[in-house]
Amino acid sequence: MKHFEYADEKISEKEILIVIPSTLIGIGILSLPAELAGYTTAADGWVAIAVSGILIIFVVWLISKVAASFPNQEFITYASALVTKPVATVLTILFSLEGVFICTYVVRVISDIAEEYLFDRTPVEVIGLAFLLTVVYAVSGSRAGLFRLNMMFLPIISFIMFLVTVFSFGLFEMDNFFPVLKTDMSGYVQGIRASTLSYIGFYILFFYIALVRKPEKTPKMAALGMGMTVLIYLITFIISIGVFGNITASNLIFPVIEIAKEVEVPGGFFERFDSIFFVIWIMAIFNTMCMAFDVTVFSLKSVFPVKKIKLIFILSPIIFFLSMFPASYYEVEKFGSFISHYGVTLVLTTMILLTVALKIKGVKKRG
């Protein structure tokens, strides 16, 4: 067997545009509409998504700006230059921890969903293991290959999202969108917090921008990718409210899956739309997990001089056992909330730290 070798492990800024929605769209979007509907009145949750979206777009732009100031340098290199080596090392390790947590959470949730909706009798552990092994296989290969995989899957995922949206128009009830803007301030604050927490994963930019050949345009591309994500979140929220109404949507655990179950291709020609939806959605979640796993390997490799494959073999069992650790749905939820808080705090702290340091020290050429 011959391996296909890419010329080099470099990517273009277009791939940065793709990698953001690929990483962010996964599990959060399935349940976010329910959480938001709980905090807000009627369809007001869109305000929360938009406000937090604009905030995060700005953050993403800033992160890329900092990272792009040091073209072709890895995180540990430019962070050391800005905030000293020990701090940079600690930050890298904290980020890898976040990566491990995300992988753990993803494996667990996808197994739970698959068991709930698809495989009644297959144990969660078996589903989780199968999924993890697939991801391990993908991550063991070429990094540039992963980016190309993202590029291939994203249009398919967008297409299925588009189909769900179009077919759900028949189930829309305009009444569900009224009254407009009646949520109180605390409702909006809660909503903004919830949607901000659901956008974890964009920290990969700190690391991946080093791979971009010519990073001048990356801040713009990254912001655009983030904008795409926010748009997809908005559409999902609006169709959830349109189909179910506020109260029912807030009561469902995964409103998006329920929509997929409910839509039918007109003419009774295809009743079980959810089966296709699941196949495609697992691709989306696969992308999320691949990027999270890969960035962890990538960042750890910059701290510990170990071979990539060895790192993967050390991390995989840890991820698997951690993911099977929570005993119930409630514990999984608590874990998810912890990851979000941890991730957002870490990203924001790092961002502020680096931006301030950059302002003070300025970019040292060839530093």
State the residues that interact with another protein by CB under 8 A: 41, 116-123, 126, 175, 178-179, 182, 244-245, 247-248, 251, 258, 261-262, 272
CB of 127 to another protein, least distance (A): 9
Q: Is residue 297 within 8 Å of 311, Cβ to Cβ? A: yes
Closest to another protein by CB, 271 or 331? 271
Q: Is residue 5 within 8 Å of 274, Cβ to Cβ? A: no
CB of 346 to another protein, least distance (A): 35
Closest to another protein by CB, 84 or 122? 122
Q: Is residue 154 within 8 Å of 21, Cβ to Cβ? A: yes
CA-based nearest residue to 208, from 105, 312, 116, 73: 73
Closest to another protein by CB, 184 or 216? 184
Cα 18 to Cα 224: distance, rounded to the nearest angstrom: 9
Q: Which DSSP string do the residues of 197-212 spell out, in sequence order? A: HHTTTTTHHHHHGGGB
Closest to another protein by CB, 178 or 338? 178
CB of 117 to another protein, least distance (A): 5
CB of 228 to another protein, least distance (A): 30
Three-state DSSP class for residue 364: coil
- Beta carbons within 10 angstroms of residue 18's beta carbon: 23
Q: First-to-last CA distance in the chain?
A: 42
Cα 102 to Cα 366: distance, rounded to the nearest angstrom: 34
Beta bridge partners of 60: none
- Read off the tokens for 359: 């302002």
CB of 262 to another protein, least distance (A): 6
Cis previous bond, 179, omega within 30: yes
CB of 118 to another protein, least distance (A): 8
CA-based nearest residue to 164, from 46, 30, 292, 37: 30
CB of 25 to another protein, least distance (A): 22
Closest to another protein by CB, 275 or 349? 275
Closest to another protein by CB, 37 or 204? 37
Beta bridge partners of 212: 11
- Read off the tokens for 156: 């398919």
CB of 51 to another protein, least distance (A): 21
Q: Is residue 20 within 8 Å of 206, Cβ to Cβ? A: no
Closest to another protein by CB, 98 or 258? 258
Closest to another protein by CB, 150 or 250? 250
Cα 111 to Cα 291: distance, rounded to the nearest angstrom: 18
Cα 33 to Cα 243: distance, rounded to the nearest angstrom: 12
CB of 81 to another protein, least distance (A): 47
Closest to another protein by CB, 117 or 342? 117
What's the DSSP call for residue 174?
G
